[in-house]
Amino acid sequence: MLTDPISDYLTRIRNASKAGHRVVDIPASNLKKQITKILFDQGYILSYKFEEDEVQGNIKIALKYDKFTKEPIIKKLQRVSKPGLRKYSGSDELPRVLNGLGIAIVSTSHGVMTSKQAKQENVGGEVLCYVY
């Protein structure tokens, strides 16, 4: 049994990128699908595909690497709000990651979005993770 599926999702991506894998398979959920779309829109992953089967489904993520140095584009994935200690932020106190170079993914009442989008829509929520 898994207690924190988001942490498992981030760890699978982190491990696959450190090992130099091109594609990583992750069990799907609606929250993970939304986080994957954000990572793709922000340019942290190359592509993704949602595979539906009878039970849960899978997310196939193609990781992105630098063309010249072969370093992974995602330098760090950090889980912020954990099941044991939830972290919430209002719209006026949403975090900036690396002074605007990274993103914070926030779960709001308007859906999952980056902290920049949440600030524009003037909503706060649970800060899920930092990506840079």
Residues 92 and 118 in one domain: yes
pLDDT at 54: 79
70: in domain: no
For the full predicted model, state whether its pTM sits above 0.85: yes
pLDDT at 75: 94
CATH of the domain at 116: 3.30.1490.10
Residue 81 and residue 58 share a domain: no
* pLDDT tens digits, 74-132: 999 999 999 999 999 999 999 999 998 999 999 999 999 999 999 999 999 999 999 99
In-domain check, residue 51: yes
**Angstrom distances, CA of residue 31 to CA of 19, 20, 62, 70, 100:** 25, 25, 18, 30, 24
Same domain, 57 and 82: no
Number of compact structural domains in the chain = 2
Among residues 39, 44, 56, which one has the least CA distance to residue 5? 56
Task: For residues 6-34, give the mean pLDDT.
Answer: 96
Which residues form the domain of 106?
77-131
Whether residues 55 and 83 share a domain: the answer is no
- The answer to whether residues 49 and 99 belong to one domain is no
Taking only the tens place, the pLDDT of each residue in 41-83 is 999 999 999 999 878 899 999 999 999 999 999 999 999 999 9
